[in-house]
Structure 1
Amino acid sequence: MKHSTSPTPSLAGSSYAPSYATSRGQSPLPPPANHTRNCLSATSKSYKYLRRLLKFNQMDFEFAVWQMIYLFISPQKVYRNFNYRKQTKSQFARDDPAFLVLLVICLCVTSVVLAWTMGLNFLQSISFILYVVFVDCIFAGIIVASFLWIVTNRYLRSSSLEPDIEWGYAFDVHLNAFFPPLILLHFVQLFFYDWVISQPWFFSRLLGNTFWLCALSYYIYITFLGYNCIPHLKNTRLILIPLPIIFLFYLVTVIIGWNVTISFINFYKYRVY
């Protein structure tokens, strides 16, 4: 793997910290990563990231798979790695597009299965895949990431002297949070759709709506972890405010007999017909 699993421990609070401020020239240790003078600009980082999208031999797919697995079983470990990257490369955002590439592949594969479940023809399936990748994931992610990027930088930083949250990191948080709901809704749920969820039973809408409740809750929770792991952000628990609202909405839909899964399936079909 290209990423180190045993990062250099933080020097904050240790006996070495004063040496950076008083006599850095005499210190045998290198300067902290966030003080290096050759840090790339946001434009340069974006260009470097996009350029690597076409260089598959430079991507660490093994580590990207590790992140996808741990987003389900222990998402805190994934964000711990983002903190390590900040210490070593002076940026929270990923510099390796392997995760995005694998996510798009997962989107395409699961969307093919979902299109087959909905009975779409070939052209409709292609249109549906393009919608899912470029509208549901990327375009919606740009909107969500931009909103949280503005809110966190303007209202959640503990001090205006603290560094800004990178937009690229906000988009990475969206991608992280998007993956578990994708697997739940576009893959696991399909095993129950034809013979349970699509039926006009109480248990059908209970099961289908529970999938959506878990997916949206997962998205919000992983998003919260993404911003909560940044030390200079305060009041990040505000990101969890939608959780009780979503649960209340879940109860209402079950009581009034609204099967959310069927509604979204019909919406998916409407977009491509």
Structure 2
Amino acid sequence: MFARSDSQESLPLPIFCRMDCTSAAAKRYKYLRRILRFEQMDFEFAFWQMIYLFVSPQKVYRNFHYRKQTKAQFARDDPAFLVLLALWLLISSIGFAVVLRLGVLGFLKFFLYVVLVDCIGVGLVVATALWYVTNRWMLKPACRDQDVEWGYAFDVHLNAFFPVLFILHVVLLLFYHVFIAQPWFVSLFFGNTLYLLAVGYYIYITFLGYNCLPILQGTKALLYPLTGLIFFYVCSLALTMNVSTAVMNFYHYRVL
């Protein structure tokens, strides 16, 4: 269903300028209008994307190129991925409510906080910052009449957020009480390593999202935060700081 022929992959990417497509406002309206029409969403393809964000994220971004060729935009026009992500957030929030022993009100506050702040709020900040940086300093001189779509920048955030959600809200949750929360160095090492993998994955998938755009240059700079991440990871082990426990305490008290 999702396979592409070699001839399709070898087609050169067309060049689109800002004014040759439907306006950004019209695209957003079309996207939001479909968000409650489940019969129009391709959930199978969205699930495929989630799997390949772990297995081979390059294939996910290759599909964004196909969308640019056929629909003149890199950003998703199908909200199925966002709907599935919201479902994952709901399920993981129920798990957190059980682990943190939250009541119904606490669960609702936690779920809204995760969706509105951790996912959407952080996404708005990161997507807007990278949208500005890439359009301001990373456009190739020959591509100044083009730009990175803000909707695509937000899609890159959602792509990078899903592995973080799975690692920290599913895998970590399963091991938290029985292993990670124990006062052993191996528990601290395992929990902090999960955070290293999750944040590292976020940085790497974000880099892939912008590196695949033919109008950008110098995107390797987006990998620089990995250096700071590794430094923090080493320091956390040296100082025996259990990041997982600290974050769990933060999660618990922010919904009180």
- Asked if Structure 1 and Structure 2 have the same fold, meaning a TM-score greater than 0.5 normalized by the shorter chain, the answer is yes
Structural mapping, 1:68-147, within 5 Å = 68-147=50-129
Name the stretch that deviates more: 107-116 or 154-163.
154-163
Q: Show CA shifts across 1:216-239 (max 9, x none).
A: 000000000000000110110000
> 1:268 aligns to what?
251
Give the direction of change, closer, same or farther, for the CA distance of 1:270–1:8 in structure 2 (3 Å limit). same
Q: Which one of the candidate residues 30, 45, 49 is aligned to 1:63?
A: 45
Structural mapping, 1:167-206, within 5 Å = 167-206=150-189
Q: Secondary structure at the match of 1:257?
A: coil
Deviation at 1:8, TM superposition (A): 3.6
Deviation at 1:4, TM superposition (A): 7.3
Larger Rg: 1
User: Do the aligned partners of 1:33 and 1:86 also contact (CA within 8 Å) in 2?
Assistant: no
Q: AA paired with 1:170?
A: A
Deviation at 1:134, TM superposition (A): 1.0
> 1:47 aligns to what?
29
Distance in 2 (alpha carbons) for counterparts of 1:12 and 1:183: 35
User: Do the aligned partners of 1:60 and 1:98 also contact (CA within 8 Å) in 2?
Assistant: yes
Q: AA paired with 1:224?
A: F
User: Aligned-pair RMSD on alpha carbons?
Assistant: 1.9
User: Do the aligned partners of 1:33 and 1:89 also contact (CA within 8 Å) in 2?
Assistant: no
Give the direction of change, closer, same or farther, for the CA distance of 1:255–1:147 in structure 2 (3 Å limit). same
> 2:204 aligns to what?
221
In structure 1, stretches of 5+ residues that fail to align are: 14-31
TM-score with structure 2 setting the length: 0.94
In structure 2, stretches of 5+ residues that fail to align are: none
User: Do the aligned partners of 1:108 and 1:129 also contact (CA within 8 Å) in 2?
Assistant: yes
Q: AA paired with 2:206?
A: T
Deviation at 1:92, TM superposition (A): 0.3
User: Do the aligned partners of 1:206 and 1:254 also contact (CA within 8 Å) in 2?
Assistant: yes
Distance in 2 (alpha carbons) for counterparts of 1:191 and 1:227: 33
Distance in 2 (alpha carbons) for counterparts of 1:9 and 1:65: 22
> 1:23 aligns to what?
none
Deviation at 1:122, TM superposition (A): 1.1
Distance in 1 (alpha carbons) for counterparts of 2:226 and 2:15: 36
Aligned residues: 254
Q: Secondary structure at the match of 2:146?
A: coil
Give the direction of change, closer, same or farther, for the CA distance of 1:119–1:174 in structure 2 (3 Å limit). same
The yes-or-no answer on 1:244 pairing with 2:256 is no
Deviation at 1:37, TM superposition (A): 8.1
Distance in 2 (alpha carbons) for counterparts of 1:197 and 1:63: 35
Deviation at 1:54, TM superposition (A): 1.2
